A and B are shown apart, each in its own frame.
Chain A
Amino acid sequence: GAGVSQSPSNKVTEKGKDVELRCDPISGHTALYWYRQRLGQGLEFLIYFQGNSAPDKSGLPSDRFSAERTGESVSTLTIQRTQQEDSAVYLCASSLWGLLRYFGPGTRLTVT
């Protein structure tokens, strides 16, 4: 079956521009997560959606970052006024229950 998909796979943007990253979770998965991975670093938690509960936004690094999720489907991560330090791979993951995570291939963001 289809896994977690993300788009675009690569995004190059100029400093100061806004970007939107999309995640399509596995159908039926109630939980959706966004992580960020800078080059040579571990995964950094950004935000977590679980069903209709209020999202856990505790990992968002600044108010330039926001995320939305439509029901239990697609999610969009928006970064406003991008900075060079935002350059990273942004990974989305989904799960049905418990803590098993299925990751998408990621969006590689480069801010020039």
Chain B
Amino acid sequence: RKEVEQDPGPFNVPEGATVAFNCTYSNSASQSFFWYRQDCRKEPKLLMSVYSSGNEDGRFTAQLNRASQYISLLIRDSKLSDSATYLCVVNEGSSNTGKLIFGQGTTLQVKP
């Protein structure tokens, strides 16, 4: 089983749609979680951290379910510019430093 699993997609949605991505992780000791965005042939960039209580940043909402070891990202009112690959990222263990494990990514294509 992969340490961080994501549905690779692609998810093809029309502008204005709401889309949700899910991610599961295998290490129950993991403490830190993130979503990164990667545009084609570009480096990944931090989109948002994921907090236990859930958090929102504009049109983006991230949630964490520790019991199920599951993370989600919801994008409301999709824009063409949201087209990218979304990477679920998990800290490997319980320490505050150390390596992050990246999921394979979920590709989103927003169509006009």
Q: Which residues in A have some Cβ–Cβ distance to B below 8 Å?
A: 31, 33, 35, 41-45, 48, 50, 56, 58-59, 91, 97-101, 103-106
Chain B neighbourhood of A91, CB < 8 A: 43-44
Chain A, Cβ-Cβ closest to B90? A99
Measured in the bound complex, the distance between the Cα atoms of B92 and A59 in whole Å is: 12
- In whole angstroms, what is the CA distance A43 to B44 when docked? 9
Interface residues of B (CB under 8 A from A): 32, 34, 42-46, 87, 91, 96-105
Cβ–Cβ contact A35 & B32, under 8 A: no
Within the complex, the shortest CB–CB distance from A90 to chain B, in Å, comes to: 11
Q: Which residue of A lies closest to B33 (CB)?
A: A99
CA distance A35 to B97 in the complex (A): 16
List 28 contacting pairs A-B, 8 Å CB cutoff, sorted by A: A31-B97, A33-B100, A35-B102, A41-B104, A42-B103, A43-B87, A44-B102, A45-B99, A45-B101, A48-B98, A56-B98, A56-B99, A91-B44, A97-B97, A98-B32, A98-B96, A99-B91, A99-B96, A99-B97, A100-B46, A101-B44, A101-B46, A101-B100, A103-B44, A103-B45, A104-B43, A105-B43, A106-B43
